[in-house]
A and B are shown apart, each in its own frame.
Chain A
């Protein structure tokens, strides 16, 4: 074994360390309670932030000593990251995020469905659209009508409700 410091492990350790420090900052920002309490609202956040910071420091130390992820079989055997798949999946999540407000659930979730399927190597976009639209509309109706969970109606849902002769919720 060489003494090279694995950069990914070091970054992971630094991230945890940073997370702990942000925790400290936020624990410090908790207003002091005017109510009397044996243990105030700040105590446990400080304990948790200290723990996280300490663990982050230990991870950094472990990374400086050669890291851990090289010993994980799944990491060692894996090929290079598939950036195309990851990018398409990220685009799918982003599309959902942007569209769900203005266009409603079914359109947003269908766009996401098609992009995610493409990320995992689906070749027929037309077929995915034909699966996605009925599926998302069906679960929208199931959740909205059956469980009373409102998932954001939009253009498509309104249209279908109109066809069924119902008022949009």
Chain B
């Protein structure tokens, strides 16, 4: 079995002292930023990208994956104790979790979230290890035409299928695509969309855009809406799960993990859908006496299931990222740019050319999961303290790091101006309910899609029919079209039926 051999290789590297230290640092940082409202894993990894100049690729990615997993563990703490979900995947956790906390059951809610995250993390990571090589075998036969089609599918799902409105999602995506075009065209050496400014010839840095959208825009939007008052942190109480809690949590964990992982793997990515489905499933499956707790005193099943689904989906997102080089979340997009800064192109060849890196990474995900349960359960008091950092100093601090992340790359005032300009655009995007993640994904994936398009057309000698005559690419494009138009056609049909 390729996966078993790979994991053996991976663990032999992951369990060295240095790599364990990177994993611990990543988990610690990740949990901290997950707990803090206002910063997430995408921003943190973007700010940590400078370490790619100093640290080996393996160490850096172990750190990034620790942050990625850790942020999800930490996010549930904030949802439960503050009733303020930090990211879309933990909205559902806040729903029941905060109710449990208000009824003095914060401890069991935190415990079931942490253990559920662990179960899902292990299931998801096993999924990566066993599914990865299978997808790689399949991906090796894909040509540039199929890759282009896959990226189109990715564009459609991250912008038009997820989120509130296809129109606004697509605007975000095209904003990202435009930003990705800025700079020298790699194939012909012509400057594009630069307004003739030499500062823009190298393109817009993705870190700058991520920092602008996730830190500056967030701070501006919070200031716009600021009306004083500190959020109240609910007390934790006893952490232990009673026997009945454990019994009620066990199957939701398993079901949540099973539901979440496939959603992450599909380019339909996103964590909203699986968490929502898991919530409704648990609500339906709960025994009548427990079902009464949903929406009233808070049902533990409603925390255990969605939290597991959230983590398993997030683990699943790593599958298309590692095997196909397709990022389906903002965090994955930033990680992809980290790979690029090492000159490594994620994709099917990664498992062959960088086998050691890939398997060490996967093994480290197991390590990170174990560390995170330990970090999150006994040390929950520490994270509660972090939650109590007052808002003024928190946002002031975030903006200090935003300056470092931008000015540190280039020492250029132009970049700072760009940071604030995109930040202001981001603030209005929040105000008008435009999603932010498609911007980052479009920016990273756009240039790759253009390259695939040009390669495909060079091979076909300029024949655009290549995208519909190759069966693989035709099928993927049809799926993309269905994903784009399907919901609308269904909507019209449903309305007709009612009328």
Contacts and interface: CB of A to CB of B under 8 A. Distances in A.
Interface stretch (B63-71, B163-171, B249-257, B491-499): B163-171
B188 A121 contact: no
Given A92-B399, A100-B403, A69 B226 contact: no
B403 A112 contact: yes
Interface string B412-423: 010011001001
Nearest to B399: A116
A78 B226 CA distance: 10
B413 A82 contact: no
A14 interface: no
Of the candidates B54, B401, B408, B413, the one having the most CB atoms from chain A within 10 angstroms of its own CB is B408
B407 interface: yes
B5 interface: no
Contacts of B181: 44-45, 48
Given A41-B187, A112-B396, A89 B219 contact: yes
A78 B433 CA distance: 13
B393 A131 contact: yes
Interface in A41-78: 41, 44-45, 48-49, 51-52, 55-56, 58-59, 62, 68-69, 72, 74-75, 78
B345 interface: no
Interface in B413-457: 413, 416-417, 420, 423, 428, 431-433, 446, 450, 453-454, 457
A126 interface: no
B8 interface: no
B187 A128 contact: no
Contact of B408 (A38, A55, A89, A150): A150
Interface in A2-50: 8-9, 12, 15-16, 19-20, 23, 26-27, 29-31, 33, 35, 37-41, 44-45, 48-49
Contacts of B226: 82, 85, 119-121
A108 B166 CA distance: 41
A120 B194 CA distance: 36
A160 interface: no
A97 B54 contact: no
A135 interface: yes
Interface string B87-121: 00000000000000000000000000000000000
Contacts of B482: none
Given A92-B399, A113-B399, A118-B392, A139 B223 contact: no
* Most chain B Cβ neighbours within 10 Å, of A29, A74, A151: A151
Interface stretch (B11-19, B172-180, B231-239, B321-329): B172-180
A49 B179 CA distance: 11
- B407, B416, B417 pick with most chain A CB within 10 angstroms: B407
B113 to A, nearest CB: 25
Given A45-B192, A86-B223, A100 B54 contact: no
Given A120-B226, A147-B53, A100 B400 contact: no
Interface size range of chain B in the complex: 35 or more
B127 interface: no
B51 interface: yes
A75 B462 contact: no
B400 A135 contact: yes
B224 interface: yes
A51 B174 contact: yes
A15 to B, nearest CB: 8
Interface string A115-150: 011111110000010011001100100010001111
Among A58, A85, A112, the most chain B Cβ lie within 10 Å of the Cβ of A85
Nearest to B219: A89
Contacts of B167: 55, 58-59, 62
Contacts of B216: 93
Contacts of A12: 428, 432
B374 interface: no
Nearest to A131: B393
Contacts of B296: none
B485 interface: no
B433 A75 contact: yes
B395 A120 contact: yes
B403 A105 contact: yes
Nearest to B442: A48
Interface in B134-166: 164-165
Contacts of B396: 92, 112-114, 116-117, 120, 122, 128, 132
A165 interface: no
Contacts of A132: 396, 400
B490 interface: no
Contact of B432 (A8, A93, A117): A8
30 contacts: A9-B432, A15-B428, A19-B178, A26-B192, A31-B190, A40-B188, A48-B174, A48-B181, A51-B174, A68-B165, A69-B431, A69-B433, A72-B164, A82-B227, A89-B219, A89-B223, A93-B399, A97-B420, A105-B403, A105-B407, A113-B396, A119-B392, A120-B391, A121-B226, A122-B396, A147-B50, A147-B54, A148-B50, A149-B408, A151-B403
What are the 10 closest A-B residue pairs judged by CB atoms, nearest first?
A122-B392, A120-B392, A33-B188, A117-B392, A116-B396, A85-B223, A41-B185, A117-B396, A113-B396, A149-B408
Interface of B: 50-51, 53-54, 164-165, 167-168, 170-171, 174-175, 177-178, 181, 185, 187-196, 216, 219-220, 222-228, 390-393, 395-397, 399-401, 403-404, 407-409, 411, 413, 416-417, 420, 423, 428, 431-433, 446, 450, 453-454, 457-458, 461-462
Interface of A: 8-9, 12, 15-16, 19-20, 23, 26-27, 29-31, 33, 35, 37-41, 44-45, 48-49, 51-52, 55-56, 58-59, 62, 68-69, 72, 74-75, 78-79, 81-82, 85-86, 88-89, 92-93, 96-97, 100-101, 105, 108-109, 112-114, 116-122, 128, 131-132, 135-136, 139, 143, 147-152
